[in-house]
Structures are given as C-alpha cells and as structure tokens.
C-alpha cells in the first residue's frame, strides 16, 4: 500500500479550503484517510497553513510521498528542511545542536518575511482607502463648484429679468406724451409785382 500526503477539498464552490491528510493513494480524494495532519486555506492573503510538523516529518520518514502541492506546503513550513538536517545528523555531517540552530534561524527569517508581507498588505489597504477618500472629496468639490456656478448663472438671469421687468413698469407708469405738431413757419405774403403799365 502506497501512502500519500495530499489535500482533501472542503468548503463551498468558489471558496474552498483543504485538509492535509495522510491517505492510501487508491482512496478517493475526499474519502478515507489515515490521519489528518493540518489545514490549508488559500482564500486569505497570505495563505493560512496550519500543520503538525512532527507528524508530517514522521510520515515522511516512514516513506509517505507528498503530492506536488503538499511538497510545496511542507517546504514552506520548513518540514522538508528539518528532514534534510536530520539526515545530515544521522550521517554525522553536523551535530544536532547545529541542525536545530539552522532550522530555528530559517524559521525566524521565514516568519519575518511573512510579517513583512502582512504589514505591507495592511499598509497598501490603508493607502487604497485614503486614495479613494481623496478622490471622492475631489469629485464632491467639483460637483459643488458646478452647482455653485449654475446657481450664480440662475441668479444673474433672475436679476436681468427683474431689471427688465422694472424698466417695463417704469415705462408703463409714465404717461405717454403726444408728439407736438411741428410748427409751420408763417406763410409769407405773396410779393406783389408792380404793375406795369
């Protein structure tokens, strides 16, 4: 019987999470398993991985073969590095204290990278919110300027209409003067011509 370390899918459509299980390679993907050693949730950023490293190391030492995805997960969590260091201790290449020190240093570095990514994502989220609020404020100011301009144009039109109406009223109130008849110059007497005899 070949034993695999693999993922078993759970969750709903489009929002899956996985159990990391040790199972017979002939068993169905979500079916029978020998032991559950952790969980993997890719829906968070960074992905949430909770795994029992000692159990995983024990199963790998017994000959369980991880699938490609599980191999990457085990490598990310340092299980494969620990296995490599323990093989070096068995061969006498390094002491157990040195192997533990290397593994601890690697884990601290890995944890600092994860923390840096989390803080960077949080900061970028805050920056995105701030930029969105600034854009909304600018749009609101632009809209307020357009409304103020329309109001001033409307007030100007109303003032012009009122002035025109007042001018018409003043013209209507004053009596219409009849134009005086033009004076005709007095007619000159026809000049009499001296009679010629």
* Tens-digit pLDDT profile for residues 136-163: 888 888 898 888 888 888 888 888 888 8
The answer, yes or no, to whether residue 73 has pLDDT greater than 90, is yes
**pTM (predicted TM-score):** 0.60
Residues 6 or more apart in contact with residue 117 via CB below 8 angstroms? 46
**pLDDT, position 195:** 59
Region class of 164: left (phi > 0), else alpha (psi between -120 and 50), else beta: alpha
3-state class (DSSP) for residue 115: helix
Buried b (16+ CB within 10 A) or exposed e, 165-181: eeeeeeeeeeeeeeeee
Cis peptide before 128 (omega within 30 of 0): no
């Amino acid at each position: 019987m070949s034993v695999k370390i693999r993922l078993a899918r759970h969750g709903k459509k489009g929002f899956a999470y996985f159990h990391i299980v040790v199972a017979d390679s002939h068993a169905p993907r979500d079916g029978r398993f020998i032991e559950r050693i952790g969980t993997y949730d890719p829906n968070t950023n960074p992905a949430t991985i909770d795994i029992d490293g000692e159990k995983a190391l024990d199963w790998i030492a017994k000959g369980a073969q991880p699938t490609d995805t599980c191999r990457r997960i085990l490598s990310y969590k340092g299980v494969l590095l620990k296995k490599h260091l323990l093989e070096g201790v068995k061969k006498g290449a390094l002491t157990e204290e040195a192997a533990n020190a290397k593994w601890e240093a690697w884990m601290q570095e890995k944890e600092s990278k994860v923390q840096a990514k989390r803080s960077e994502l949080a900061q970028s989220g805050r920056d995105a919110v701030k930029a969105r609020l600034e854009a909304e404020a600018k749009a609101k100011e632009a809209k307020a300027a357009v409304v103020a301009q329309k109001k001033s144009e409307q007030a100007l039109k109303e003032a012009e209409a009122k002035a025109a109406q007042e001018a018409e009223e003043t013209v209507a109130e004053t009596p219409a003067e009849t134009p005086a008849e033009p004076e005709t110059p007095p007619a000159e007497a026809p000049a009499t011509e001296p009679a010629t005899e």
